[in-house]
Amino acid sequence: MPRTTKGEPFSVRFSAATDRAIEAEAKRLKRSKSVIVEALADEAMKMRRFPGIAFRGEDAGRRPWVIGTGLDVWEIIELLGDFDGSIDVLVKDYDFLTERHVRLAAAYHAAYRQEIDEAIAENRRPPEERLELYPFVEFVQPA
């Protein structure tokens, strides 16, 4: 997510092994070490704030998911909307989801609404628009 303001600079020293790992990640992603450390710190703070949330995906496409479900947060929020916000009905219909999973996703959504709403909007993009953006991809219509 783009940030409009930055905090005050400060100095940090990592162990040699951690510094090598950050350097390798920065080189692999063609990003600065400070961008890599900021992204890692941001994810770590979110995971501490919301135990049970983890992140997956590549670089800028990393997205939060709820551990134990296999679903991204946006997918659970979209399902919850399909069930008119009823957690009880949702978990009854999807036996691999628990009330805790859904409440965790809802809490994350409340804190990072724009991030999750953008992922939902991207998923709802019409096939015609996707074909325009990705003409080399063959989309299969559901039966």
In this prediction, residue 78 carries a pLDDT of 96
pLDDT along the chain (143 residues), means of 10: 73 95 96 94 97 93 96 98 96 96 98 97 87 81 69
In this prediction, residue 2 carries a pLDDT of 53
Domain limits, the chain: 16-48, 50-125
Determine the longest span between alpha carbons in the chain, in angstroms: 57
The 3 state secondary structure assigned to 43-86 is HHHHHHHCCCEEEECCHHHCEEEECCCCEEHHHHHHHHHHCCCC
pTM for the full predicted model? 0.85
In this prediction, residue 3 carries a pLDDT of 57
In this prediction, residue 130 carries a pLDDT of 80
User: Strand, coil or helix: what is 50?
Assistant: coil
Q: Which residues contact 29 (CB under 8 A, 6 or more apart)?
A: 36, 59
In this prediction, residue 1 carries a pLDDT of 47
Which helix (H) or strand (E) covers residue 77, if one does?
Answer: helix 73-82
